[in-house]
Amino acid sequence: MRSINEIPIHVLSPDQMLTGQAEAVLSEIADLLARLLETGEEGSIDLRSLPLSPADRDWLDGKLGRGEVEIALEAGGRSTLYETAYAGVWKVTHRDTEERVVSEFIEVSHVPAIVKPAGADIENAHERLQSDLKQITQEGNER
Amino acid sequence: MNKEETLLDHMEREGMSRRTFLKYCASLASLMALPPTAAAAMAEALGKARRPSVIWLPFQECTGCTESLTRSHTPSVEGMIFDMISLDYQETLMAAAGHQAEEALHNAMKDNYGKYVLIVDGSVATGLDGAYSCIAGRSNLDLLKEAAQGAAAIVALGSCAAFGGIPKANPNPTGAVAVSDIIKDKPIVNISGCPPIPVVITGVLAHYLTFGTLPELDGLGRPKAFYGETIHDRCYRRPFYDQGKFAKTFDDEGARKGWCLFELGCKGPVTYNACATTKWNDSTSFPIESGHGCIGCSEPDFWDAGGFYKALSTPANPLKYVGAAAAVGVAAGAAVSVANRASKNAAKAAHEKTQLTDLEK
């Protein structure tokens, strides 16, 4: 058998796979930012639904850069959310419990929706904390 | 999970957080081609849904459709299907056999009469009064007619149930037909593909639970959310098609550069499916990413469509053609012009190592 190195595969530089589609995504992000500023309406782009090549994705990530905030979400797998170098533009990547990417979005908002806790969850947390406090006070009295 | 419990109750009891559920809905909305902002509304409706009884009948099939679903990423998105529904009869997955299995089927049909969702995979043999394919001494034809009576809706899963598929390929020895050829008085959703994409069935069921109706269908009875666009329209190699950059053989410079596989027989332009966006093998890739054209498995009679490696005729005006394709569905496949035969012949001539004819055998 021939060695694997003899198989004539040419490695291409990523630039050769650029299709120009990512530029269109950038201008959509700009429109969504304008809308957020004017009306406060949040926007979102589903990156998985777009025909982007791997090089396009890298290009887009590179252009958007990294900002100051990074959030890790442990909910049915690890999700990562980070603010890009453009304030209000977030890259959201959801993964399942086996670390596979299940969806990817660009979110244009003050804070990504999934980060904010639901009202019912806060109510529940308040109740739990109160009952925990009660128990701690009781234990203190018994001592 | 009992049948009165809502999906959100069930998930909370299982220790699943609201954010996990929201994340699941965001992914599902993405797969269903709903706007990302629809996820929150979807989470609310889906959370309140009660799970329906599902009866799954296998006819002339290879179990590929079941494999596709069950080997997908449990416990992720598609795995949730088992939380969303009460799967009361599925021969391959159920523990019961023989009379017990038959009893489960009849109980499920009786208890949920008029309300259950019937999933069928495989085509229906009609030759010799259906004797070519029988379960427990009864023909598929007979079983289908009985089970369809009490069904709220029918899901024809896979190209065999949807269009007849491989059993119907020439010369069709068993007289195989699609579910919709037999049942005319029930809503039928065709989820074609050989096999179909697992998330499509989850998506259809999620739609049914979220909105209480079946999703919008195309002219061939397929949900538009997944079959609304061609493989070609969503293909990452599409820009190369627009630039006129084609691989002429499977091992030439163009193939290495990842150019369009149109001239190597890719059926992407006439095939409506979501492979290019949802992908396969846990979202790893889809055939074109591996350098092979689409074989059109989600279209009727793909097996008899004239060869997987025969190029479709090049349209005279690609952009105009795409517009027409979106408007009139699969019929546009017939509308492609036969203008560019010369370039096809040139492509054939360029072959030095592998001949198209070698691959067509």
Burial (CB < 10 A; 0-12, 13-18, 19+), residue B343, is: middle
Looking at residue B158, what is its pLDDT? 96
The overall average pLDDT reported for chain B is 80
What's the CA gap between A8 and B268, in Å, rounded? 28
Using DSSP, state whether B25 is helix, strand or coil.
Answer: helix
- Residues in A closer than 8 angstroms to B23, CB to CB, are 73, 75-77, 79, 94, 102-103, 114
Would you state the pLDDT for residue B284? 81
Q: Predicted confidence band at A64 (pLDDT cuts at 50, 70, 90)?
A: very high
The arithmetic mean of pLDDT across residues A1-13, rounded, is 65
> Residue B334 and residue B299: Cα distance in Å, rounded?
13
Task: Identify the sign of the CA torsion B105, B111, B114, B119.
Answer: negative
CB A90 within 8 A of CB A80: no
Across the range B32-49, mean pLDDT stands at 76
Q: What's the pLDDT at B31?
A: 73
Range(s) within chain B of domains with CATH label 3.40.50.700: 7-226
ipTM of the complex: 0.78
Q: From A41, which residue of chain B is nearest by alpha-carbon distance?
A: B37
In angstroms, the CA A81 to CA A103 distance is 12
Instruction: Count the Cβ atoms, other than its own, within 10 Å of residue B50.
Output: 15
Least confident of A16-30, B255-269, B294-308: A16-30
pLDDT digits (tens, 9 = 90+) for B164-183: 999 999 999 999 999 999 99
Cβ-proximal residues to B22 (8 Å cutoff; 6+ apart), any chain: A113, A114, B39, B40, B43
CATH class of the structural domain B238-360: few secondary structures
Q: Which residues of A touch B288 (CB under 8 A)?
A: none
Q: Report the CATH superfamily, name and number, of domain B7-226.
A: NADH:ubiquinone oxidoreductase-like, 20kDa subunit (3.40.50.700)
CATH top-level class of A13-111: alpha beta
**pLDDT for B86-119, tens place per residue?**
788 888 888 888 888 888 899 999 999 998 999 9
What would the mean pLDDT of A47-54 be, rounded to a whole number?
Answer: 81
Structure tokens at B216: 């919008």
Residue B78 has what pLDDT?
Answer: 53
Closest-CA distance, B103 to chain A, in angstroms, reads: 37
Q: Which residues of A touch B282 (CB under 8 A)?
A: 100
User: Which of A46-55, B146-155, B265-274 is least confident?
Assistant: A46-55
Mean pLDDT of B128-132: 92
Nearest to B275 by CA among B265, B262, B261, B288: B288
To 5 degrees, how large is the angle CA A49–CA B212–CA A117?
60
Average pLDDT over residues B203-221: 85
pLDDT band at B81 (very low <50, low <70, confident <90, very high): low
SS3 B109: helix
Q: Any idea which of A137-141, B87-91, B109-113, B238-242 has the lowest mean pLDDT?
A: B87-91
The amino acid at residue A91 is K
Query: Which residues of chain B are in CATH 4.10.480.10 domains?
Result: 238-360
